C-alpha cells in the first residue's frame, strides 16, 4: 500500500517535471518528529473528557473518591490509549493489548468492579427515588461493601472504556457530536434530576467541547497512523486544484485547549452565579417531559420489565381498567358542560363538590373492575331502586327539601352514561355530628327528548339556545335536564322502603367478593389500619324517639363510616397521591402491588384498593367512575345573568348564594370513588383519594400574562386557592390560561431570560470594550510616536487610515493602491484636493528611510483632514 | 481587502442545531443545560472578534530564499507566518500559483497552515525544478477564518515574484575567430569596429554631425564649431544568436549560457541578438559583464519560442551583409 503510494507519488512528480518543468513538493517546517507530542496533547484532551464524565458523574451522586489518585490514574490511561495512534504498529498492537488488559482486569477484579458499579447504581436509585418521591427504592447487592476500594476500581475500569471511545471521537475524528454524546448521555443521569456535578468537571467537559470543535473546524489535529512519519502536510489534487493541508499543530492544540479551559471556566462561573437561585421550581408541567418522567420513574422503580406492562390513560372514564397505567395524561378538552347553581355545604359553609356518576365497577378481576359479574344476571333486574328513584318517593320529604336543576350537555364524554349528579354526604373533612342523608339525590331524572311532564316549555327553549351556543364544540352533543336534591344536614334518616331483602342478599353476596391472590395484601392493610378493631356503640348516639329498628341501622351506618374514615386516614398517612405512580410490573396485580409496594397512585388506585379492602372486612362496596365538579370549577365557571332562583325548586331551604353558572368539565375532571352499602338505606358515595401533594408553583413572565387574563387565571384571585389542594385529582383546578399551551411555553422558558440578557450584555460589552481599546491603543501609539518625533511612521499610519476611509466611501477602489493611483482616483472625483505634496511626503516617509520634518507632517495632515472632510461630506450628500 | 462571511449553510445549521438543542433542553426542563447553551451563544461573536483583532496584526508573506538559481537546483519558497497576538488562528489559507513561463501551469494551489499565537515560523515549500526559465510565483489571496470557521477575511494580494532559474553550465568548444564584420553605425556597430572614448581628431562641423560631438568648451572660446571625432576600435565582436525553437529550447539556453560564460571568462565583450518572436524584432545587446549576461538571460526567459531559422532570417533582413553570426541551435553552435 505504502509502496504503491510512493510509486504513484514519484510518477506524479516526474510527470509534472516533464510537463511543467517544476513540481511543488511537500511543505515542511523545522521541528519534524513531534508525533509523540501530538499524541500526548490528544491524550490530555481524552483525559479531560474522561475525567470530566467519570469524575463528574461519580461526584454528582455523592460517591466519595480521591480526585488526585483517580485523576492521575485516568491521565496515564488516557495518554497510553492516545498513543495507539502513534503509528500503524502501535495502532493494531495497542488495541489488541488494551482489549486483553481490559479482559484480564475484568476477570481478576470482577467483584470489585461490579460492586463499585452497583454502589453507583444504588446511589442513582436513591437520588431518583428522592427526586420523584418514589415510595420504594431499588437496591442492588454490593458484594464488597468497602466503597473506598470498589468505587475507584470501577472508575478506572469504566474510565478506561470511556477513554477508548473518546480516543476514537477525539484523536481519530475530532468530532464534537460524538464526543458530546459520549459525555452528555451519561451526564443526563444527573442533569435529569437537577443534580449539577461539581463545576471543575463541567469545566473540563466544556473545554473539551470547545477545543474539539475549533480543532475540527480548522483541521489542525490530524496525525493518525496513516500519514507517514515526518509528514506534515497532506496533498489533495482535484482537477487543477491542489491543496497542501497542514496536518497537526501541536502548539495550536495546546493554545486552543487552554483557551477552551479559560472560556469554559468563565462560563461556569457565570453559570454558578445564575444557579445560585433555584430554577427548578419554576417549571410548569409539559406533556412530553411528564411522559418521559413517567418512563424514568417506571424504570427507576420497576426495572426494564415494568416498561412493557403499560397502556396509555388519557383521562376520562377508563371503564374500570387500571393495570399498567403509569400515568394519566389528560388532554384538557371539554367533555361535559353543565349549567347549574353552586350549592354550599351547610356543614362547612363552602361550595360543595358535585359528582357525576358514570361507570359502576362490580366485579374485580385482575387489574379490572367489570360492570357486571361474569355469568350472572345484572342487578338492575333485581332492583331498579338504585338507578331510578321515582319522583315523590315516600322517603323524601318534598316539603322540606330543595331541589336543584342541572342541565348537562355531553360534548365529548362517553355517551353510554347519564352522569347523574350527587353530593357526597361524607366529605373528606370528616363525618358530621349526626350525618344522615340520601345516597343519590336524584329525585327526578329526565332527558329533554323524553319531554318530562313538568319541564316548562320556556325552559325547553332556553335549553335549545344553550345547546346552540355550544354547537361548535360538538355538533352531536346530547343534553338533558337533571333534578337533584343537594345534601342537607337536617334531613333525617328513614329506611328506604324500596330496598328488598332479596336485593340486600344479592348485595352481600356479590359486593363482598375478593380474588384470592390479593387477600394477603388486603389483610395486611386491614391489620395495619386496625379496621377490624373499630367498634361503634349504640350509646354514642342520641336515638331518642327513633325506632329501635331504625336505630340499629343508624349504628351500623356509623360503624361503617368510622371504618371508611379510618381507612382514609390510613391512606393519607401511608400512601401518597401521584398522577405518575409508574406501572405495575408484569405478573403483579395492580391492587396488590399498589397496597404492598407502590403505595403511590391516583384516584383509581385508591378507590379500587379501598373497595377491595372494605369487601375483605365484609362491607359491600363498589367502584365508581365519573366526573367531579370541584368547588373551584364552580366558582371559575361562567357566571350567567338571569334569575338563578328559577333553578332552585321546592321550598326555600335552598342554597344561600344563588348564582347560575356554566361549567366546562374537561377530561381532567374524571375521577374514581367508591360507594358503600348501608343496610336498609342503600348506597352512599365516599371519597377515598387523599389530597394531592403535587403543588405547582408559578412565577415570572407567565404569571404576568396570567394576571393580564385574570378572569380566567388563578393569578387574579387567591381566595379559593387554599381549597384546591383537596383532592385535585388531576391538578384540574387551574385556570384556562394556565391550561393553555402558551402559558406553559412562556413558563418553561421563563428562567432563560436572565442568561439571555447576560449574554446580550456580554456581547455588547465585549464589542464596546474592543472598540474602545482599539481606539485607545491607536491614540497611545500616535502619542508615543509623536513624542519620539517619528513623524514618518505617524504619517503612514494616518495615511493608511485615511485610505481605508476613502475605500469605504468608494473614492478609492483598488485594494492596494500606490500613492500615484490614489492621487489619480482622487483627481477623478469632483471637488478634488491637491494631493501632490501629500503624495511626496508619504513617499518620502515610506521609502526614503529618513525622517520627515514636523512642518511636512503638519502640512500632510492638513491635506488628509481636508480630504476626509470633503469626501465624508460628498458621501453624505450622495446618500 | 475583502471580508466575507463564508460557510453560510454551516452557520445556519450551527444555529439551528443550537436552537434545537436549546429547545430540547427547555422542553425537557434541563435548566443547567439551557442556560449553558445560551451562554455558549457567546462563542461565535467571540470567535469572530478574536479573529478580526488578531488578523490585523498578522504578518504573512511568501518568497523564495534566493534571488537566482542555477540548475540542477531546488527552489525553496519560504512562507513566513508571524502572529504576535494571543489568539491562535489555525485556519489560514494562502492561494498561489507557480509556473515556468516557458511551460504554463494554471493549477490553483492552496496551502493551509496555522498561525499559532505568539509564534513566528517559517514554512518551506520546496519546488523541484527540471528546466531553466523564469519561474513565476503568483501570490493570489489570503483567507483567514475565525476559530469556529464562521467568518472569513479574504485578503487579495496579487503579488508576483519572478524567480530566474539558469540552465546548468556545460563544456563548449572555443570559437574559432568568427567575429561579425559589418553593421549599421546607429547601433554602434560598424565595419571599422566599435567607437572608443579616445578622440582621434578635432575637425570642422559638418552637417549631420551630432550635437553631443561638438566640442562646446572650445566653441565657446572661438568662433568655429570644432567637432570631436572619436577613435574607432579596431577589434571586432562576436554576435551570438540563440535560436529558441520548441524542440531544443532547453539545450539552446544551456549551450548559449555556457558559451556566453566562457567568452566572459576570456574577457571578451560580445553581443547577443535576441529575437522577439511576438513583435518579430531583433534586439542586439552588448554583454560585457556577468550582470549584462543575466539581463540577457532574463529577457530570453520571457521570450516565447519561435520556429527554426526565423530568428536568423529576421536578423539577415535587418542587417544585410552580416557575416560571422554564431547561431546556437540546441547543442549545435554554427558560425555563418
Asked if the structure places residue B99 within a domain, the reply is yes
Please indicate whether, in this complex, the C-beta atoms of B112 and A245 are within 8 angstroms of each other. yes
Please indicate whether, in this complex, the C-beta atoms of B110 and A241 are within 8 angstroms of each other. yes
- Answer for the pair A795, A857: CB distance below 8 angstroms, yes or no: yes
C-alpha cell belonging to residue A442: 336524584
Q: Which residue of chain B is at minimal alpha-carbon distance from A19?
A: B103
Residues 6 or more apart whose Cβ sits within 8 Å of residue A99: none
Q: How far is CA A147 from the centre of its chain?
A: 33
Asked if the structure places residue B48 within a domain, the reply is no
Same domain assignment for residues B78 and B139: yes
Q: Where are the alpha helices (DSSP H) in A597-653?
A: 603-616, 631-636
Same domain assignment for residues A424 and A391: yes
Q: Which residue of chain B is at minimal alpha-carbon distance from A203?
A: B36
Same domain assignment for residues A268 and A368: no
Same domain assignment for residues B102 and B121: yes
The pLDDT tens digits for A613-645 are: 999 999 999 898 888 887 777 777 777 776 666
Asked if the structure places residue B172 within a domain, the reply is no
Distance from CA of B67 to the nearest CA of A (A): 17
With 0-12 CB in 10 A as exposed, 13-18 as middle and 19+ as buried, what is A326? buried
Distance separating alpha carbons of residues B274 and B257, to the nearest angstrom: 13
Which residues in chain B touch residue A271, judged by CB atoms under 8 angstroms apart?
32, 35-36, 39
Distance from CA of B41 to the nearest CA of A (A): 7
Asked if the structure places residue A659 within a domain, the reply is yes
Strand partners, A248: A221
The pLDDT tens digits for A493-540 are: 556 666 677 778 888 888 888 999 899 999 999 999 998 888 877 777
Does residue A483 have a pLDDT over 70? no
Please indicate whether, in this complex, the C-beta atoms of B98 and A275 are within 8 angstroms of each other. no
Distance separating alpha carbons of residues A299 and A296, to the nearest angstrom: 5
Asked if the structure places residue B96 within a domain, the reply is yes
Same domain assignment for residues A708 and A812: no
- Answer for the pair B18, B41: CB distance below 8 angstroms, yes or no: yes
Same domain assignment for residues B292 and B209: no
Same domain assignment for residues B246 and B222: no
Distance separating alpha carbons of residues B333 and B260, to the nearest angstrom: 12
DSSP E strands, B65-168: 69-70, 74-83, 89-100, 108-115, 119-129, 133-145, 152-166
Query: Between A191, A252, A759, which is nearest B33 by CB?
Result: A191
Q: Which of B75, B90, B127, B151 is the best mutation test for A, with the most CBs of A within 10 A?
A: B90
- Using DSSP's 3-state secondary structure scheme, residue A659 falls into coil
Instruction: Single out the residue of B293, B4, B289, B309 nearest to residue B145, CA to CA.
Output: B4
Same domain assignment for residues A710 and A819: no
- Residue A69 Cα distances to A43, A113, A117, A336, B294, angstroms: 17, 17, 19, 66, 71
Distance from CA of B323 to the nearest CA of A (A): 36
Last residue of a domain, one of A239, A261, A276: A276
Same domain assignment for residues B139 and B62: yes
The pLDDT tens digits for A575-591 are: 888 766 766 766 778 88
Same domain assignment for residues A489 and A592: yes
Asked if the structure places residue A282 within a domain, the reply is no
- For residue B195, the 8-state DSSP code is E
Distance separating alpha carbons of residues A319 and A626, to the nearest angstrom: 10
Distance separating alpha carbons of residues A313 and A306, to the nearest angstrom: 16
Strand partners, B79: B62, B123
Distance from CA of A220 to the nearest CA of B (A): 7
* Peptide bond preceding B72 in cis form (omega within 30 of 0): yes
Instruction: Single out the residue of B212, B217, B287 nearest to residue B257, CA to CA.
Output: B287
Distance separating alpha carbons of residues A511 and A534, to the nearest angstrom: 21
The pLDDT tens digits for B33-71 are: 777 888 888 888 888 888 888 887 888 888 888 778 888
Which residues in chain A touch residue B49, judged by CB atoms under 8 angstroms apart?
766-767, 770
Please indicate whether, in this complex, the C-beta atoms of A275 and B27 are within 8 angstroms of each other. no
Which residues in chain A touch residue B164, judged by CB atoms under 8 angstroms apart?
none
Mean of the per-residue pLDDT values of chain A: 74
Same domain assignment for residues B240 and B320: yes
In this structure, how many other beta carbons lie within 10 angstroms of the beta carbon of residue A29? 16
Same domain assignment for residues B214 and B276: no
Q: Which residue of chain B is at minimal alpha-carbon distance from A808?
A: B1
Please indicate whether, in this complex, the C-beta atoms of B126 and A25 are within 8 angstroms of each other. yes
pLDDT band at residue A650 under the 50/70/90 scheme:
low
- Residue B103 Cα distances to A26, B82, B161, angstroms: 21, 33, 16
- To which H or E segment does residue A369 belong? strand A368-370
Asked if the structure places residue B36 within a domain, the reply is yes
Q: Which residue has the higher pLDDT, B12 or A682?
A: B12
CB–CB contacts below 8 A, A to B: 204
Pairing of strands A670-678, B2-4: unpaired
The pTM score is 0.58
Same domain assignment for residues B323 and B310: yes
Asked if the structure places residue A226 within a domain, the reply is yes
- Answer for the pair B48, A214: CB distance below 8 angstroms, yes or no: no
Distance from CA of B321 to the nearest CA of A (A): 39
Same domain assignment for residues A423 and A564: yes
pLDDT band at residue A771 under the 50/70/90 scheme:
confident
Same domain assignment for residues A657 and A795: no
Asked if the structure places residue A194 within a domain, the reply is yes
How large is the ipTM?
0.77
The total number of structural domains that make up chain A: 3
Instruction: Single out the residue of B29, B16, B128 nearest to residue B71, CA to CA.
Output: B128
Please indicate whether, in this complex, the C-beta atoms of B112 and A219 are within 8 angstroms of each other. yes
Query: Between B74, B98, B148, which is nearest A214 by CB?
Result: B148
The single residue listed with the C-alpha cell 483517580 is: A70
Same domain assignment for residues A261 and A335: no
pLDDT value for A305: 57
What domain range is B37 assigned to? 8-41
The total number of structural domains that make up chain B: 4
Q: Which residue of chain A is at minimal alpha-carbon distance from B119?
A: A251
Same domain assignment for residues B77 and B159: yes
Asked if the structure places residue B180 within a domain, the reply is no
- Give the range with max mean pLDDT: A333-347, A706-720, B25-39, B91-105: B91-105
Distance from CA of B111 to the nearest CA of A (A): 5
Please indicate whether, in this complex, the C-beta atoms of B38 and A759 are within 8 angstroms of each other. yes
pLDDT value for A848: 66
Backbone angles phi, psi at A407, to 5 degrees: -100, 135
- Answer for the pair A487, A401: CB distance below 8 angstroms, yes or no: no
Which residues in chain A touch residue B125, judged by CB atoms under 8 angstroms apart?
24-25, 27, 244
Same domain assignment for residues B92 and B109: yes
pLDDT value for A61: 92
Same domain assignment for residues B84 and B12: no
Distance from CA of A725 to the nearest CA of B (A): 24
Q: Which residue of chain B is at minimal alpha-carbon distance from A14?
A: B130
- Answer for the pair B118, B109: CB distance below 8 angstroms, yes or no: no
Distance from CA of B188 to the nearest CA of A (A): 38
C-alpha cell belonging to residue B217: 568648451
Distance separating alpha carbons of residues B148 and A737, to the nearest angstrom: 43
What domain range is A66 assigned to? 28-276
Backbone angles phi, psi at B248, to 5 degrees: -115, 30
Which residues in chain A touch residue B45, judged by CB atoms under 8 angstroms apart?
763, 766-767
Q: Which of B18, B39, B138 is the best mutation test for A, with the most CBs of A within 10 A?
A: B39
Does residue B266 have a pLDDT over 90? no
Same domain assignment for residues A358 and A419: yes
The CATH number of whichever domain residue B162 belongs to comes to: 2.60.40.10
Distance separating alpha carbons of residues A209 and A204, to the nearest angstrom: 9
Please indicate whether, in this complex, the C-beta atoms of B114 and A218 are within 8 angstroms of each other. yes
Same domain assignment for residues B13 and B99: no
Q: Which residue of chain B is at minimal alpha-carbon distance from A249?
A: B114
How many alpha carbons lie under 13 Å from residue A390 in its C-beta half-sphere? Answer: 9
List the helix and strand counts (H, then E) for chain A.
26, 21
Asked if the structure places residue B157 within a domain, the reply is yes
Asked if the structure places residue A783 within a domain, the reply is no
Same domain assignment for residues A489 and A521: yes
- Answer for the pair A833, A826: CB distance below 8 angstroms, yes or no: yes
Same domain assignment for residues A319 and A261: no
Q: Which residue of chain B is at minimal alpha-carbon distance from A263?
A: B43
Asked if the structure places residue B314 within a domain, the reply is yes
Please indicate whether, in this complex, the C-beta atoms of A756 and B38 are within 8 angstroms of each other. yes
In this structure, how many other beta carbons lie within 10 angstroms of the beta carbon of residue B11? 16
C-alpha cell belonging to residue A433: 355530628
Instruction: Single out the residue of B101, B106, B176, B160 nearest to residue B334, CA to CA.
Output: B176
Same domain assignment for residues A265 and A309: no
Please indicate whether, in this complex, the C-beta atoms of A218 and B130 are within 8 angstroms of each other. no
- To which H or E segment does residue A75 belong? helix A67-82
Amino acid at each position: 500500500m505504502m509502496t504503491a503510494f510512493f510509486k504513484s507519488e514519484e510518477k506524479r512528480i516526474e510527470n509534472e517535471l516533464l510537463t511543467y518543468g517544476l513540481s511543488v513538493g511537500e511543505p515542511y517546517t523545522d521541528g519534524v518528529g513531534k508525533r509523540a507530542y501530538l499524541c500526548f496533547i490528544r491524550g490530555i484532551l481524552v483525559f479531560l473528557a474522561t475525567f470530566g464524565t467519570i469524575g463528574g458523574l461519580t461526584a454528582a451522586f455523592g460517591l466519595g473518591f480521591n480526585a488526585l489518585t483517580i485523576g492521575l490514574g485516568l491521565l496515564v490511561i488516557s495518554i497510553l490509549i492516545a498513543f495507539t495512534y502513534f503509528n500503524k504498529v502501535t495502532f493494531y498492537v495497542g488495541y489488541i493489548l488494551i482489549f486483553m488488559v481490559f479482559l484480564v482486569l475484568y476477570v481478576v477484579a470482577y467483584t470489585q468492579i461490579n460492586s463499585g458499579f452497583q454502589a453507583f447504581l444504588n446511589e442513582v436509585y436513591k437520588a431518583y427515588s428522592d427526586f420523584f418521591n418514589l415510595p420504594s427504592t431499588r437496591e442492588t447487592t454490593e458484594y464488597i461493601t468497602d466503597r473506598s476500594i470498589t468505587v475507584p476500581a470501577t472508575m478506572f475500569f469504566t474510565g478506561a472504556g470511556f477513554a477508548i471511545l473518546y480516543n476514537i471521537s477525539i484523536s481519530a475524528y475530532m468530532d464534537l457530536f460524538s464526543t458530546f454524546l459520549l459525555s452528555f448521555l451519561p451526564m443526563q443521569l444527573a442533569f435529569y434530576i437537577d443534580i449539577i456535578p461539581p463545576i471543575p468537571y463541567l469545566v473540563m467537559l466544556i473545554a473539551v467541547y470547545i477545543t474539539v470543535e475549533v480543532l475540527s473546524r480548522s483541521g489542525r489535529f490530524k496525525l493518525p497512523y496513516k500519514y507517514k512519519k515526518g509528514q506534515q502536510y497532506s496533498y489533495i489534487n482535484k482537477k487543477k486544484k491542489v491543496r497542501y493541508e497542514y496536518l497537526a499543530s501541536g502548539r495550536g492544540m495546546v493554545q486552543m485547549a487552554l483557551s477552551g479551559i479559560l472560556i469554559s471556566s468563565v462560563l461556569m462561573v457565570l453559570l454558578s452565579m445564575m444557579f445560585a437561585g433555584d430554577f427548578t421550581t419554576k417549571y410548569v408541567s409539559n406533556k412530553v417531559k411528564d411522559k418521559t418522567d413517567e418512563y424514568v420513574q417506571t424504570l427507576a422503580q420497576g426495572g426494564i420489565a415494568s416498561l412493557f406492562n403499560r397502556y396509555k390513560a388519557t383521562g376520562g372514564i377508563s371503564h374500570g381498567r387500571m393495570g399498567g397505567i403509569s400515568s394519566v395524561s389528560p388532554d384538557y378538552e371539554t367533555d361535559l358542560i353543565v349549567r347549574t347553581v353552586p350549592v354550599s355545604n351547610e356543614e362547612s359553609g363552602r361550595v360543595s363538590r358535585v359528582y357525576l356518576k358514570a361507570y359502576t365497577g362490580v366485579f374485580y378481576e385482575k387489574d379490572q373492575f367489570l360492570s357486571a359479574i361474569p355469568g350472572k344476571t345484572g342487578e338492575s333486574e333485581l332492583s331498579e331502586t338504585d338507578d331510578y328513584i321515582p319522583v315523590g318517593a315516600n322517603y323524601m320529604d318534598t316539603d322540606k327539601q330543595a331541589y336543584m336543576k342541572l342541565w348537562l350537555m355531553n360534548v365529548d364524554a362517553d355517551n353510554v352514561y347519564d352522569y347523574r349528579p350527587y353530593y357526597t354526604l361524607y366529605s373528606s373533612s370528616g363525618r358530621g355530628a349526626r350525618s344522615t342523608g340520601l345516597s343519590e339525590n336524584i329525585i327526578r331524572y329526565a332527558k329533554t327528548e323524553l319531554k318530562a311532564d313538568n319541564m316548562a316549555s320556556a325552559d325547553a327553549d332556553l335549553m335549545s339556545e344553550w345547546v346552540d351556543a355550544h354547537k361548535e364544540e360538538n355538533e352531536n352533543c346530547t343534553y338533558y335536564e337533571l333534578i337533584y336534591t343537594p345534601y342537607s344536614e337536617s334531613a333525617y334518616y328513614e329506611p328506604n322502603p324500596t330496598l328488598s331483602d332479596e336485593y340486600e342478599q344479592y348485595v352481600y353476596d356479590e359486593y363482598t367478593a375478593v380474588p384470592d391472590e390479593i387477600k394477603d395484601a388486603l389483610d395486611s392493610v386491614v391489620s395495619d389500619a386496625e379496621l377490624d378493631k373499630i367498634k361503634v356503640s349504640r350509646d354514642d348516639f342520641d336515638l331518642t324517639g327513633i325506632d329501635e329498628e331504625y336505630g340499629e341501622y343508624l349504628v351500623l351506618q356509623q360503624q361503617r363510616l368510622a371504618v371508611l374514615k379510618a381507612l382514609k386516614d390510613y391512606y393519607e398517612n401511608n400512601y401518597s397521591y401521584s398522577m405518575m405512580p409508574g406501572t405495575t410490573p408484569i405478573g403483579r396485580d395492580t391492587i396488590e402491588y399498589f397496597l404492598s409496594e407502590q403505595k403511590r397512585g391516583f384516584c383509581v388506585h385508591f378507590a379500587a384498593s379501598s373497595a377491595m379492602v372494605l369487601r375483605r372486612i365484609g362491607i359491600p362496596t363498589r367502584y365508581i367512575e365519573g366526573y367531579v365538579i370541584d368547588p373551584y370549577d364552580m366558582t371559575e365557571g361562567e357566571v350567567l345573568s338571569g334569575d338563578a332562583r328559577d333553578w332552585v325548586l321546592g321550598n326555600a331551604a335552598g342554597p344561600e348564594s344563588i348564582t347560575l353558572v356554566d361549567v366546562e368539565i374537561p377530561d381532567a375532571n374524571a375521577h374514581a370513588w367508591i360507594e358503600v352499602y348501608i343496610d336498609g338505606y342503600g348506597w352512599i358515595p365516599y371519597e377515598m383519594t387523599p389530597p394531592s401533594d403535587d403543588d405547582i408553583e408559578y412565577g415570572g413572565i407567565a404569571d404576568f400574562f396570567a394576571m393580564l387574563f385574570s378572569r380566567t387565571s388563578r393569578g387574579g384571585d387567591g381566595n379559593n386557592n387554599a381549597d384546591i389542594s383537596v383532592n385535585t385529582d388531576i391538578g384540574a383546578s387551574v385556570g384556562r390560561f394556565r391550561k393553555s399551551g402558551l402559558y406553559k411555553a412562556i413558563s418553561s422558558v421563563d428562567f432563560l431570560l436572565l442568561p439571555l440578557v447576560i449574554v446580550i450584555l456580554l456581547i455588547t460589552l465585549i464589542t464596546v470594550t474592543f472598540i474602545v481599546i482599539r481606539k485607545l491603543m491607536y491614540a497611545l501609539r500616535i502619542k508615543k510616536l509623536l513624542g519620539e518625533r517619528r513623524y514618518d511612521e505617524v504619517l503612514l499610519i494616518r495615511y493608511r487610515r485615511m485610505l481605508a476611509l476613502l475605500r469605504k466611501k468608494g473614492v478609492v477602489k483598488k485594494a492596494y493602491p500606490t500613492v500615484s493611483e490614489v492621487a489619480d482616483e482622487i483627481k477623478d472625483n469632483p471637488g478634488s484636493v491637491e494631493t501632490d505634496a501629500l503624495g511626496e511626503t508619504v513617499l518620502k516617509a515610506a521609502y526614503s528611510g529618513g525622517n520627515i520634518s514636523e512642518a511636512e507632517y503638519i502640512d500632510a495632515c492638513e491635506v488628509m483632514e481636508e480630504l476626509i472632510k470633503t469626501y465624508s461630506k460628498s458621501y453624505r450628500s450622495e446618500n | 481587502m475583502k471580508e466575507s462571511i463564508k460557510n453560510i449553510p454551516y452557520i445556519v445549521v450551527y444555529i439551528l442545531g443550537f436552537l434545537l438543542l436549546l429547545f430540547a433542553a427547555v422542553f425537557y426542563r434541563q435548566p443547567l443545560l439551557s442556560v449553558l447553551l445560551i451562554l455558549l451563544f457567546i462563542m461565535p461573536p467571540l470567535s469572530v472578534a478574536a479573529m478580526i483583532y488578531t488578523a490585523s496584526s498578522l504578518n504573512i508573506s511568501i518568497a523564495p530564499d534566493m534571488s537566482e538559481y542555477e540548475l540542477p537546483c531546488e527552489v525553496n519558497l519560504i512562507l513566513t507566518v508571524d502572529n504576535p497576538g494571543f489568539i491562535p488562528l489555525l485556519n489560514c489559507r494562502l492561494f498561489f500559483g507557480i509556473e515556468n513561463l516557458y511551460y504554463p501551469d494554471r493549477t490553483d494551489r492552496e496551502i493551509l497552515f496555522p498561525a499559532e499565537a505568539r509564534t513566528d515560523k517559517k514554512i518551506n515549500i520546496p519546488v523541484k525544478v527540471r528546466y531553466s526559465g523564469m519561474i513565476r510565483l503568483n501570490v493570489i489571496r489570503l483567507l483567514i477564518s475565525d476559530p469556529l470557521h464562521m467568518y472569513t477575511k479574504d485578503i487579495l494580494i496579487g503579488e508576483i515574484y519572478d524567480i530566474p532559474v539558469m540552465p546548468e553550465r556545460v563544456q563548449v568548444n572555443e570559437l574559432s575567430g568568427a567575429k561579425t564584420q559589418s553593421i549599421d553605425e546607429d547601433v554602434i556597430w560598424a565595419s571599422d569596429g566599435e567607437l572608443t572614448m579616445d578622440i582621434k581628431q578635432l575637425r570642422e562641423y559638418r552637417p549631420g554631425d551630432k550635437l553631443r560631438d561638438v566640442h562646446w568648451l572650445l566653441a565657446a572660446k572661438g568662433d568655429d564649431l570644432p567637432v570631436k571625432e572619436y577613435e574607432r576600435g579596431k577589434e571586432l565582436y562576436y554576435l551570438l544568436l540563440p535560436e529558441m525553437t520548441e524542440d531544443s529550447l532547453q539545450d539552446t539556453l544551456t549551450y548559449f549560457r555556457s558559451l556566453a560564460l566562457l567568452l566572459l571568462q576570456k574577457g571578451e565583450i560580445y553581443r547577443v541578438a535576441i529575437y522577439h518572436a511576438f513583435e518579430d524584432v531583433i534586439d542586439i545587446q552588448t554583454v560585457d559583464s556577468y550582470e549584462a549576461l543575466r539581463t540577457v538571460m532574463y529577457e530570453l526567459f520571457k521570450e516565447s519560442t519561435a520556429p527554426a531559422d526565423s530568428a536568423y532570417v529576421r536578423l539577415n533582413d535587418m542587417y544585410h551583409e552580416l557575416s560571422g553570426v554564431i547561431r546556437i541551435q540546441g547543442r549545435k553552435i554554427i558560425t555563418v
